[in-house]
Chains A and B, each alone.
Chain A
Amino acid sequence: MTTPIVYASAGVAMLCIALFGFLTARHVLRRILALNIVGSGVFMMLVALAARPDPPDPIPHALVMTGIVVGVCVTALALALLRRMFADEGSARLPEDREFG
Chain B
Amino acid sequence: MLDLLLGSALWLGPALAPLVALLLLLVGSWPRAAVAFAALPALLVALFAPTGTVDLPWLLLGTRVGLDETGRIFLIFTASLWLAAGIHGWSYLHEDRRRATFFAFFNTAMAGNFGVVLAQDAVSFYVFFALMSFASYGLVVHTRSPDAFHAGRVYIVLVIAGELALFVAIVLWMNLSGSIYFSDFIASSTAAPTRDWAIAATLIALGIKVGAVPLHVWLPLAHPAAPTPASAVLSGAMIKAGLLGWLRFLPLGTAAPGWGHTMIMLGLTAVFGGALIGALQREPKSALAYSSISQMGFITVLLGVALSAPEAAPAAGLAAALYAFHHAFAKALLFLGVSMLGVASRLARGAVAGGMVLPALALAGAPLTSGAVAKAELKAVVIAAGWKSVALPLSLAAAATTLVMLRTLYLARHASSPGAHAPNWGMWAGWWLLVIGCAGPIWFFAQAPVDLGISFGELANAVWPIGLGLALALAGRRLQWSVDRLSLPPGDLLLLLLRAWRGANFASAVRRALPKPDLLSPRPGLALRMGLSRAEAVLSEAEVVLARRAGLAVLLVAAVILLAIS
Q: How far is the CA of A23 from the CA of B555 in the complex (A)?
A: 9
Any chain B CB within 8 A of the CB of A94? yes
State which residues 510-566 of B face A: CB under 8 Å: 544, 547-549, 551-552, 555
Write the chain A residue with the least CB distance to B551. A23
A13 → B minimal CB distance (Å)? 17
CB closest residue in chain B, given A93: B548
A43 at the interface (CB under 8 A from B): no
Contacts of A19 in B (CB 8 A): 551, 555
Size bin of chain B's contact surface: under 10
Contact flags (1/0) for A60-101 with B, using CB distance below 8 Å? Answer: 000000000000000000000000000000000010110010
Residues of B within 8 A of A96 (CB): 544, 547-548
CB-defined contacts of A22 to chain B, threshold 8 Å: 551
Shortest Cβ gap from B240 to chain A (Å): 92
**Looking at chain A's contact residues, is the secondary structure mostly helix, strand, loop, or mixed?**
helix
Chain A residues whose CB sits within 8 angstroms of the CB of B552 once the complex forms: 23
Q: Could you say which residues of chain B place their CB within 8 Å of the CB of A23?
A: 549, 551-552, 555
A12: min CB distance to chain B, Å? 15
Q: Mark B400-416, 1 if CB is under 8 A from A, else 0.
A: 00000000000000000
Residue of B nearest to A22 (CB): B551
Bound Cα distance A83, B424 (Å)? 113
Which residue in chain A gives the minimum CB-CB distance to B548?
A96
Q: Which residues in window 10-43 of A have CB below 8 A to B? A: 19, 22-23
Q: Are B551 and A94 in contact (CB under 8 A)?
A: no
Q: Provide the residues of chain B in CB contact with A100, threshold 8 Å.
A: 548
Residues of chain A within 8 A (CB-CB) of B548 are 96-97, 100
Minimum CB–CB distance for B540 against chain A, Å: 11
Bound CA span A22–B547, Å: 13
Interface centre among A19, A96, A100 (most CB of B within 10 A): A96
- Among B547, B549, B551, B555, chain A packs the most CB atoms within 10 A around the CB of B551
The complex places the Cα of A23 from the Cα of B551 at a distance, in Å, of 5
Residues of chain A with a CB closer than 8 A to B549's CB: 23
Contact assessment for A94 and B547 in the assembled complex, using a CB-CB cutoff below 8 Å: yes
Residues in A with CB closer than 8 Å to B551 are 19, 22-23
Contacts of A97 in B (CB 8 A): 548
A-contact 0/1 string along B449-483, CB 8 Å cutoff: 00000000000000000000000000000000000
CA distance A23 to B548 in the complex (A): 9
Q: Which residues of A contact B544 (CB under 8 A)?
A: 96
C-beta contact mask, B46-90 vs A, less than 8 Å → 1, else 0?
A: 000000000000000000000000000000000000000000000
Among residues of B, the one whose C-beta sits closest to the C-beta of A21 is B551
Q: How far is the CA of A94 from the CA of B543 in the complex (A)?
A: 13
In angstroms, how far is the closest chain B Cβ from the Cβ of A30? 13
For residue A94, which residue of chain B has the nearest CB? B547
Nearest CB of chain B from residue A33's CB, rounded to whole Å: 14
In the bound complex, how far is the Cα of B551 from the Cα of A100, in angstroms?
17
A residues neighboring B (CB under 8 Å): 19, 22-23, 94, 96-97, 100
- In order of increasing CB-CB distance, the 10 nearest A-B pairs are A96-B547, A23-B551, A96-B544, A96-B548, A22-B551, A23-B552, A97-B548, A94-B547, A23-B555, A19-B551
Can you report 13 residue pairs joining A to B where beta carbons are below 8 Å apart?
A19-B551, A19-B555, A22-B551, A23-B549, A23-B551, A23-B552, A23-B555, A94-B547, A96-B544, A96-B547, A96-B548, A97-B548, A100-B548
Q: 11 extra interchain contacts, Cβ-Cβ under 8 A, other than A23-B551, A23-B555? A: A19-B551, A19-B555, A22-B551, A23-B549, A23-B552, A94-B547, A96-B544, A96-B547, A96-B548, A97-B548, A100-B548
